[in-house]
Amino acid sequence: MDYYGVMKSYAIQAGRELRVIVESDKVTDTESDNLAFQISQKIQNEMTYPGQVKVTVIREKRSIAIAK
């Protein structure tokens, strides 16, 4: 949650996977790639864990229109 544009984050599968949801209007596709790399590097450098931790950054834009 310390990173710019992050709305929510979830640790799933017993901490083996991290899903980060970002705001699509604040974070571009390139920035989301960079964010996933930055988070994975921070986990690698600051934590001890067995195996791997998968980091997924989700950037979604929804457009909704209603016809009456």
Per residue in 2-34, pLDDT (tens digit) is 899 999 999 998 889 999 999 999 999 999 999
DSSP E strand stretches across 1-68? 6-12, 17-23, 54-60
What mean pLDDT value characterizes the chain? 91
**Which CA distances in Å does 34 have to 56, 58, 62?**
11, 12, 22
Global pTM reads 0.83
Confidence of residue 43 (pLDDT cuts 50, 70, 90): very high
Neighbour-count burial for 41-51, b at 16+ CB within 10 Å, e otherwise: eeeeeeeeeee
Q: What is the pLDDT of residue 44?
A: 92
Q: What is the pLDDT of residue 1?
A: 81
